[in-house]
A = this chain, B = another copy of it.
């Protein structure tokens, strides 16, 4: 071939610190040797001791820093997993914190970093997903995603996914959940066993699968005990504090003059806690006058000694990472993999201080 034009040394807008090439030059070896020594590339064992040392010295002298971006580009791997969830400024999300804690821990254990994609809502997720799965992460955890099946079909296929508490099973995405119905069943069973009959369930949104399962548990426990649920005692709403406040307030308004429920079963701890607030504001005592129980066992519940159903949120986060990393590895090695549809973890009754026997005389709603 023709002579190499050999252009000028190029100004090199020296952004990054020293590069492998720099180190190599300094040590009088190739960049590749430096790579082998410094970043443990495949050939690392084949470098002689003296060369090794020269390279180490040069690296130290030039304060060499590997560049993750470049490595990621070459490797097609960033060692970073993503977590996508809705994150609202007005109400802090305990649930998120608990799961996230597990994710962080699992990721650290697997040598992965974690980047968070904060969404305002799930439609936004559908839009942004392609941009999210653009090489910066190796896999993504969807945290209680609310995606349509069509959206699920359009998930980028070069990125492995795992979901936690998905509202809808997505094709090819392992979902981690807990046996919420069993949890709600057990909780309701305990309430009934104590003698409670008018148990108000402040439920989540009717189109949430989780909310449905909790309602199902509530109803099943009644059926199992041969007790018909108190009529009108399932009030749908949402999982948040504010929604809980609205739902309960409204329910009370619509039931003025009627007997106060003996127990209130919130669809989440937030709902239960705000119910306690509202009862206290009315001069009622918990649990002497009304028992209140929740669902999730988040931090606020624990510090309030709320009786609740524990979902192993941290474990769910851990598990999600584990499964995701497995899938990433498999994909990396082009290994076949059979995707597990679901992993269901157990829920557990947590005895707090907000559950007691019903009082003898019914209170009337003021």
List chain A positions with a Cβ less than 8 A from chain B.
13, 15-17, 65-70, 72-73, 76, 78, 80, 87, 89, 92, 94, 96-98, 101, 104-105, 107-108, 113-118, 130-131, 133-136, 156, 158, 241, 270, 273, 277, 299-300, 303-305, 314
Whether A273 lies near B303 (C-beta < 8 A) is: yes
What is the CA–CA distance of A15 and B156 in the complex, to the nearest angstrom? 12
Residue of B nearest to A301 (CB): B303
Inter-chain contacts of A92 with B (CB < 8 A): 97-98, 101, 299
Residue of B nearest to A156 (CB): B65
Inter-chain contacts of A303 with B (CB < 8 A): 241, 270, 273, 300, 304
Whether A116 lies near B97 (C-beta < 8 A) is: no
Whether B73 lies near A70 (C-beta < 8 A) is: yes
* Min CB–CB distance A75 → chain B (angstroms): 9
Whether A134 lies near B68 (C-beta < 8 A) is: yes
Given contacts A15-B76, A69-B78, A104-B116, 13 further A-B contacts (CB under 8 A): A16-B135, A65-B130, A65-B134, A65-B156, A68-B135, A69-B72, A69-B135, A87-B104, A92-B98, A94-B299, A105-B118, A116-B116, A277-B305
What is the CA–CA distance of A115 and B83 in the complex, to the nearest angstrom? 10
Q: List 9 A-B contacts (CB under 8 A).
A: A65-B133, A67-B134, A89-B101, A96-B97, A108-B118, A113-B116, A241-B303, A299-B300, A300-B304
* Min CB–CB distance A8 → chain B (angstroms): 19
Residue of B nearest to A92 (CB): B299
* Min CB–CB distance A234 → chain B (angstroms): 24
Residue of B nearest to A353 (CB): B280
Whether A158 lies near B97 (C-beta < 8 A) is: no
A80/B118 contact (C-beta < 8 A), A17-B158, A314-B89 known: no
What is the CA–CA distance of A273 and B301 in the complex, to the nearest angstrom? 12
Whether B105 lies near A89 (C-beta < 8 A) is: yes
Residue of B nearest to A241 (CB): B303
Whether A115 lies near B113 (C-beta < 8 A) is: yes
* Min CB–CB distance A155 → chain B (angstroms): 12
What is the CA–CA distance of A86 and B177 in the complex, to the nearest angstrom? 28
A115/B80 contact (C-beta < 8 A), A17-B158, A101-B87 known: yes
